Amino acid sequence: MTSPPKNRPVDAVIIGYGWTGAILAKTLTDAGLSVVALERGPARDTSPDFEFPRIADELKHAIRGDLWQPLANETVTIRHRPDDLAVPYRKYGSFVLGNGVGGAGVHWNGQLWRASPEDLNLRSHIEQRYGKHFIPPDMTIQDYPVTFGELEPHFDHFEKVCGTSGVAGNLRGQIKSGGNPFEGPRSDEFPTPPLPAIFAAQLFEKAAAELGYKSFPTPAANSSIAYTNPYGVRLGPCNLCGFCERFGCFLYSKASPQTAILPILAGRQNLEVRPNSYVTRILLDDTGKIATGVLYIDEAGRELEQPASLVILSAFQMHNVRLLLLSKIGAPYDPASGKGVVGKNYAYQMCAETAAYFSEDVEINPFIGAGAAGQRVIDEFNSDHFDHSQVGFIGGSLIYAGATGGRPIDQMMVPPGTPAWGAGWKAAIRKHYRHSAPMGTQGSVMAYRDRYLSLDPTYTDSHGLPLLRITFDWHANEYKMAAYSAAKMEEIVRAMKPERQATILMRPGNPYDVRIYQSTHTTGGAIMGSNPSNSVINRYSQSWDVPNLFVYGASAFPQNIGYNPTGLLAGLAYFSAEKLRNAYLKSPGPLVSA
């Protein structure tokens, strides 16, 4: 067998050029390293790829998903239980995968949350407050090996990079009105003020206040003003255009790698970005302890080796786990024994929605909105912000209000009982489109012994490599959590006084349904932890097995949170990047002794 041609060796190779890839590209090129970034999808930039008016095309972007990973080439397989047959995720539904430069950071909603302090030491926090017996035996939740206080400067920095709009609720320990009173102490205000609430969010705000809840503006990576970030990159004000969630931003308002970081990397002589480059394996030396580079297929279809002294694995959560398994790095997780770590603790989020149908004199204007800006939210029933001792579950949900664009194909709401077609449907869409509003919960999902990721034994990608297999279904804890959160949401919606309201909620007996979009916040499988027997990476995102390999993204989360993951995963990446630059590059080797 002839070995594939080798490119010129570089100091570092980056796999996946989304948010964390861009963060690490900046850090490593700042430090003077020669860096090659390999991105599976095409090169993309605000101009011309997200230009108005072509971007304002619901069919192309929000239905067909031209910015998403083409499933024809690679998808995942899914089953509910370890003894079921997994079948391919053939069409998009439950989650959407990013593709191309910027990754999912192009078409995300820009909801930029920090984790709650207790989310990061969840197991010990729950044991301490409620007792060890409170955690079901098959619930495999773990503490992060890093604290809120350690991450806070990095959360703060990333919020500034993104021009995040919002209101502080806890400024250096002082609770401030108008913000989230449940957040951990922050060192600084948000860099830009919030946009005014859109109308549905105003109704929600008022109803929440009547019930004694403290609503606040959703932290939004949609800048509200002309703003220059710490890297000198300029962002523009969001105009609530309605083409945000699932679209690239044409206004340089929604932060993405393109709008916030990549402009300062353009032209760096020590950085080369190679789009359409599909990494198939991380290469190891004979000891299996040192990565020597990666094998990839370039845009011409040639298999090439890219030697590197440092490997940054910064693809999407699922792809990180798959590439570790394909590269045989770390012991694959075995649900029967509970041993092994790669693929362990896959988790998701559980969401519910209440649609409020108002009378025709209530002008919701659902097309005015953004992925995050203009929305309002409460955090009373998330994390451990309320006493769980009597509710019978762990975790919780955000409860939020606000339309993201009122997209007619995808987001048309009609009351239950309306026919799906015919004259009745046609009359109903006119009656309700401008006068209905969605409210939602977004809830945490804990980790379990029988929920995990592995390689599929049957199905392959377009190069013949095994697909990733997801084994996942809801557990009783999550059904209870979602029902509790949805009941609180319904109470708020009732106080908004719509003519009708209707809730969509997964109840016991409803299995995980991949046909319905729920959340792209998939987590785990390459989790961080305190030692090599419980995790894939250490607190600095460094592989326990291969110390010159660092893994970034939500694959690191030991279990999922009720918040959107980008703030936490970016915080973890900056925390790691600082240590990498200040310690690892001076003396490469394990940053935590095993």
Partner 1 sequence: MLAAVGRLIPADGAGPGGIEAGVPEFIDRQMELPYGYGSYFYLKGPFHPDSPVTLGYQLRFTPREIYRQGIAEADAAARTSLGADFAGLGAARQDEFLASMQQGRLALPTVPAAALFGQLLENTKEGYFSDPIHGGNRDMVAWRWIGFPGARADFTDWIDQAGVAYPYGPVSIGGNRT
Where are any strands of DSSP class E within 172-302? 174-175, 216-217, 227-228, 234-235, 271-274, 278-284, 291-297
- Residue 87 Cβ vs partner 1, minimum distance, rounded to whole Å: 5
Nearer to partner 1, 228 or 460 (CB): 460
Distance CA 378, CA 398 (A): 6
Work out the number of other CB atoms within 10 angstroms of the CB of residue 593. Answer: 7
Q: Which is nearer to partner 1, 279 or 362 (CB)?
A: 362
Q: How far is the CB of 243 from partner 1 (least distance, A)?
A: 5
Which of 120, 91, 121, 96 has its CA nearest to residue 106? 96
Nearest to 144 by CA among 591, 561, 594: 561
CB 329, CB 547: distance < 8 Å: no
- The CA-based angle 98-38-466, given to 5 degrees, is 65
Residue numbers of the site for partner 1 (CB under 8 A)?
52-54, 56-59, 63-65, 70-72, 74-75, 78-80, 85, 87-91, 93, 195-199, 202, 237, 239-243, 250, 362-363, 365, 367-368, 374, 406, 408-409, 412, 420-423, 425-427, 429-430, 433-434, 458-460, 511-515
Minimum CB–partner distance for residue 554 and partner 1 (Å) = 22
Query: Given phi > 0 = left and psi -120 to 50 = alpha, else beta, which region is 362?
Result: beta
Nearer to partner 1, 87 or 290 (CB): 87
Distance of closest approach, residue 424 Cβ to partner 1, in angstroms: 9
DSSP 3-state helix, strand, coil percentages of the chain (rounded to 5)?
25, 20, 55
Q: Which is nearer to partner 1, 74 or 152 (CB)?
A: 74
Shortest distance in whole angstroms from residue 347 CB to partner 1: 18
- Min dist. Cβ of residue 379 to partner 1 (A): 23
Phi, psi of 284 (to 5 degrees): -120, 155
Residue with the two structure tokens 């300062």: 264
User: What are the CB-based long-range contacts (under 8 Å, 24+) for 235-239?
Assistant: 235/163, 235/259, 235/260, 238/165, 238/195, 238/370, 238/373
61 in active site: no
| Cβ-based burial of 170 (10 A; exposed 0-12, middle 13-18, buried ≥19) | middle
H helices present in 397-544, as ranges: 408-411, 423-432, 476-495
Structure-token match 């993951």, residue found: 565
Angle CA 546–466–100, to nearest 5: 75
Q: Cβ of residue 459: shortest distance to partner 1, in angstroms?
A: 7
Token look-up 């998903």 returns: 65
- Comparison of 190 and 250: residue with beta carbon closer to partner 1: 250
Marked catalytic residue, from 385, 432, 475, 521: 521
When the beta carbons of 79 and 581 are compared against partner 1, the nearer one is: 79
Question: Helix crossing, 148-161 with 566-579: angle to 10°?
Answer: 110
| Least distance from partner 1 to the Cβ atom of residue 420, Å | 7
Shortest Å distance, C-beta 88 to partner 1: 5
Name which of 50 and 381 has its Cβ closer to partner 1.
Answer: 50
Q: Judged by CB, which is closer to partner 1: 157, or 319?
A: 319
Q: In terms of DSSP bridges, do strands 76-79 and 397-401 run parallel, antiparallel, or are they unpaired?
A: unpaired
Q: Which is nearer to partner 1, 194 or 332 (CB)?
A: 194
State the virtual CA torsion across 304, 306, 312, 317 in degrees, nearest 10: 0
**Nearest-approach distance from CB 461 to partner 1, in angstroms:** 9
Residue closer to partner 1, measured from CB, 131 or 511:
511
Q: In sequence order, which residues have a C-beta less than 8 Å from that of residue 45 and are 6 or more positions away?
A: 101, 258, 262
Helices (H), 439-585: 476-495, 566-579
Q: What DSSP assignment string belongs to 25-92?
A: HHHHHHTT--EEEE-SS----HHHHT-TTTT--HIIIIIS-TTB--TTT--EEEESSTTSPPEE--S-
Token pair of 521 as six digits: 């916040």
Residue 344: Cβ-neighbour burial (10 angstroms; 0-12, 13-18, 19+): buried
**Which residues are the active-site residues?**
521
